[in-house]
Amino acid sequence: MSRPILTIVVPCYNEEEVLPETAKQLSGLLASLLEDSLISEDSKILFVDDGSKDRTWSLIEQEMENRPFSKGLKLAKNVGHQNALLAGLEIANQQSDCVVSIDADLQDDWNVIRTFVEKYKAGFDVVYGVRDKRDTDTVFKRSTALGFYRFMNRIGINLIPNHADFRLMSKRALDELFKYKEANLFLRGLIPLVGFPSTKVYYDRKERLAGESKYPLKKMIAFAFDGITSFSVTPIRFVTLLGFLSVVISAIAGGYAIFQQIVGHTESGWTSIIISIWFVGGLQLLGIGIIGEYIGKIYREVKQRPRYAIEVDAFSNKNQGKQSLGVLLKSVGK
């Protein structure tokens, strides 16, 4: 296989503290890959600004001036990590043979991108970056993550355990991914549906270079619930099961009440009545809430609104030659 055109897509949201170091590390990586003839001189880095409120975009513009192989994509407003990532993938795929996605905090080991490219050249269309261990996480985060993957597996959603959004995808795999038009994006669940030959590359996750995590507990829970409801109707079936069990319990309680009346024990219990009302009422509210979640997703899907709007696209413009790019790449980091 000839040297592929590689684009590294980096979604960014308020990353001014970490972006200069991220650009430096990834530029050095591109230079190394080019020097070893693993990638084409047309390879690039695409930074996607997801409506940042700090100096992220101005830093991306500086990066574009200093290194022409660095490109920027500015979204008109914040649309969330998954939509921003998809925007970068769609734009990058226009001029690339393969695309790697990685978060700006560089907690994922960018050095294994070399292995990603080697796996791609060996014939794999999707290469998943998988954490070898989770020692840097708290006990709570490790246990909840493990429980999440087990639960998703149990309800029939095929996820790659300990894999986030650090991966390589070939052009044909991305073309297939873009046929999925749902507004409720959960890329970790969609990409395994694409098919094509895939493999895993294991790595050790690092500490965040600077700044704060963009996925606090609240967002992690919302993200997990969104993934579950986007791919499975199991929660609704669970509510149906609860309703059936409630009917069975109520029938047993009714039979017991009739028996008590027959034998002459007709004293009524206030506590049992209140508990029963609360129990059934709670089940009803739970059921309405879960059904409402699905209806809300249907509502979003049928409107077919755009998932993102691009304010500045500095990737699609070809304004440099291969030779100058090659010289720049080789001189990065010196």
| Sign of the alpha-carbon dihedral angle for 133, 82, 213, 225 | negative
Summarised one tens digit per residue, pLDDT across range 58-82 is 999 888 888 888 899 999 988 888 8
Q: pLDDT tens, position by position, for the chain (334 residues)? A: 588 999 999 999 988 888 998 988 898 899 889 888 898 888 999 999 998 898 999 999 888 888 888 899 999 988 888 889 999 999 999 888 999 999 988 888 888 999 999 999 999 999 999 887 756 566 666 666 676 667 667 766 677 778 888 999 999 999 998 888 877 777 877 888 888 899 998 988 777 655 555 555 566 666 666 666 665 656 666 766 776 676 667 667 666 666 666 666 555 665 566 566 666 776 776 777 777 777 777 767 777 777 788 888 888 765 444 444 555 555 554 4
Tell me which residue has tokens 């990638």: 39
Whether the Cβ atoms of residue 54 and residue 18 lie closer than 8 Å to each other: no
Whether the Cβ atoms of residue 188 and residue 231 lie closer than 8 Å to each other: no
Please give the CATH topology (third level) of the domain spanning 6-214+306-331. Spore Coat Polysaccharide Biosynthesis Protein SpsA; Chain A (3.90.550)
Distances (CA, A) of 41 to 22, 229, 321: 20, 43, 9
Closest by alpha carbon to 301, among 202, 205, 229, 208? 229
Domain ranges of the chain: 6-214+306-331, 234-303
| Residues sharing a CB contact under 8 Å with residue 169, sequence separation 6 or more, in sequence order | 89, 98, 99, 101, 125, 126, 127, 177, 191
Residue 111 per-residue DSSP state: G
